[in-house]
Structure 1
Amino acid sequence: MHKEFTFKATESDAKKRLDIFLHEKLPETTRSSLKHTISEGLVSVDGTTIRKAGHRLQDGDEVEITLPEIETHELKAEAIPLDILFEDDYLLVINKPSGLSVHPGAGQFDGTLANALLHHSDRLSTIGGELRPGIVHRLDKETTGVMVIAKTDEAHVELAKQFKAHTIRRRYHAIVWGVMKDDSGEIDLPIGRSVRDRKKISTDAKKTREAKTLYKALKRFDGFSLLELTPHTGRTHQIRVHLAAINHPVVGDKLYGKRKVPSTIPKPVADKIKGIKSQCLHAISLGFTHPVSKEEMDFEAPYPPDIEGLIEEFESR
């Protein structure tokens, strides 16, 4: 059984790729399946069949798509433990563990932070949609640390304004490969989706956006450094891409870092690195203005045990 959908492109959709436009309208359908649907001739724009996913839309275009019956997914509450740093009637602040995706996506509809939040509270903001209850911002799956969750739509809107205005106070700590030469500096490199690998973000992408990250060397070890990082923009994978671009990738980063531990690394250190469950990137602090009381709030999250253990191993040598 098939289902037909018709959408109207608006001024804000002008020059937008057809597959991206359709993914925004049908978020539970993957980009890859939409591209296949387009190539099969099941999508038309103003009555003309379009077979190129990269077709650019114009204001007023009428887009029709024929799809097999779409399977809907209902987000289910799951009893996933949460490390709660603070909670009131409007906010929830947590220390996110490694391996926990923030919200469903790419065929994963369980085992996420969103599932855990539904189990923890029946009061969450709805602005992000049914699959992202309470989610104002995100951390990568393998990144640990402080996150703020909105319980009400009012809190969500006010927090989102602070993120957009860059008034949120964010600090990350990262263990990186190599000894950082400078004590501090700024990485100012625009980034965008890689043409060669769509899973990756790159500094040499065709279409890039401004991205700036401040760094400070906190400690230097034999072959490694502990850095403090402050992103001035909030691009996907920004810190990881920027550090890889200056040849100091995050330890444990399987996408942008070293895939194997070099044989020159001492065995005790190598064993610690191999035993790390996450990439060594931790959102150590988050500060913001409370959306209702207007109180300035700052939270810190301790390192996960594997990162703490690696630092202790470095310091013992």
Structure 2
Amino acid sequence: MNRSTITKLFNDSKIKVNGNIVKPSYKVLVGDIIEYEEYIPKPLSLEKQDVDFEIIYEDDYLIIVNKPSGLVVHPGSGNNDQTLVNGLLKHTDNLSDVNNNYRPGIVHRLDKDTSGLLIVAKDNKTHELLSQMFIKRTIKKEYIALLIGEFKPDTALIDAPIGRDEKSRKMMSVTSKNSKEALTHLSVLKRYKGYTLVKLNLETGRTHQIRVHMKYIGYPIYNDPVYTNEKSTEFGQFLHSSNLEFIHPIKKERVSFEADLPNEFKEFINTLEIL
């Protein structure tokens, strides 16, 4: 039984100690009798479903998707259906199957609440070539983020290794233990009262890299539900994958793609303009 399943059982009051419902913080004592209801998880779905997302580009080999904030990329624990993968299956029967049955076409991922551009492979050869390009760092990825605080100077390189947080398995952190190299280039686009709009280029692609690095330097991403102390709006973290540039793995032509900021992001920036 994994951690998320146990958490769900606690939240549903289905775990008892000595006949009493307890909180997750309860410390088990010698002789305690623990009871829990059998949990049968809902099976993951690979159904073709109507899912809202935008296709920026498509050819016989790949698809460039503009993923909205709030959309999970593929089925997994706690997200059984209504993912980007379910929508892609409705759109096309041609998706790679390199990873596993529940991630067809998925070469790389964006966090649920991160919006923007994502590359999808339509066949295994294209998938393998794109994967190698990510490993060799030949795919240029650019993000736009709104940071809390007025960041100075105008540019910065954050070179800080990232690994699993020792206190929370859901979080990553800058650490020297079991970590991997992580490099993020930052350029200031505009400063507002109490906020900074920045452009970010990644040399590496670690889990939560931008979110962790921004927290590490003391300027976390606005509205990040995990790496800030509060979430101000229903919209997720103000982080958007805005640009992709790479050599097409099959056509061998340089291609570039751009996705405009989501409306919620733009509207909030507009309110900052008048402060």
TM range (shorter): 0.7 to 0.9
Kindly tell me the number of residue pairs found equivalent between the two proteins: 243
Equivalent position of 1:161 in the other structure: 132
Distance in 2 between residues matched to 1:91 and 1:246, nearest whole Å? 36
> Which of 294, 301, 306 is the matching residue for 2:252?
294
Q: Give yes or no for the alignment of 1:305 onto 2:263.
A: yes
Structure 1 gaps of 5+ residues are 1-29, 36-67, 261-273
Q: How far is the alpha carbon of 1:107 from its aligned partner?
A: 3.2
Larger Rg: 1
Q: How far is the alpha carbon of 1:32 from its aligned partner?
A: 3.6
Q: Deviations over 1:83-125 (max 9, x none)?
A: 1100111111111001101111113220111111111101101
What is the SS of the residue equivalent to 1:314? Answer: helix
Provide the aligned C-alpha RMSD in A.
Answer: 2.1
Change (3 A) 1:209 1:313: same
What is the SS of the residue equivalent to 1:116? Answer: helix
Distance in 2 between residues matched to 1:240 and 1:122, nearest whole Å? 34
Q: Give yes or no for the alignment of 1:180 onto 2:138.
A: no
Change (3 A) 1:314 1:126: same
Structure 2 gaps of 5+ residues are 7-38
Distance in 2 between residues matched to 1:180 and 1:188, nearest whole Å? 17
What is the SS of the residue equivalent to 1:208? Answer: coil
Q: How far is the alpha carbon of 1:198 from its aligned partner?
A: 0.5
User: What one-letter code is carried by the residue in structure 2 that aligns with 1:170?
Assistant: K
Q: Deviations over 1:227-278 (max 9, x none)?
A: 1001111000000000001110000101002316xxxxxxxxxxxxx44512
Equivalent position of 1:91 in the other structure: 62
Distance in 1 between residues matched to 2:254 and 2:209, nearest whole Å? 26
Equivalent position of 1:225 in the other structure: 196
Q: How far is the alpha carbon of 1:190 from its aligned partner?
A: 0.7
Change (3 A) 1:299 1:206: same
**Retained in 2: the 8 A contact 1:213–1:239?**
yes
Provide the identity percentage.
42
Distance in 1 between residues matched to 2:156 and 2:4, nearest whole Å? 43
Q: How far is the alpha carbon of 1:206 from its aligned partner?
A: 3.0
Matching of residues 18-167 of structure 1 within 5 Å? 31-32=2-3, 73-167=44-138
Moved beyond 2 Å, runs of 4+: 30-35, 68-74
Distance in 2 between residues matched to 1:205 and 1:254, nearest whole Å? 25
Equivalent position of 1:43 in the other structure: none
Q: How far is the alpha carbon of 1:34 from its aligned partner?
A: 10
Distance in 1 between residues matched to 2:191 and 2:42, nearest whole Å? 52
Distance in 1 between residues matched to 2:211 and 2:54, nearest whole Å? 24
Distance in 2 between residues matched to 1:31 and 1:275, nearest whole Å? 30
Q: If the length of structure 2 is used for normalisation, what is the TM-score?
A: 0.83
Equivalent position of 2:183 in the other structure: 212
Q: Deviations over 1:124-146 (max 9, x none)?
A: 01112110010000000000001
Change (3 A) 1:101 1:168: same
Distance in 1 between residues matched to 2:193 and 2:255, nearest whole Å? 37
Q: How far is the alpha carbon of 1:158 from its aligned partner?
A: 1.0
What is the SS of the residue equivalent to 2:143? Answer: strand
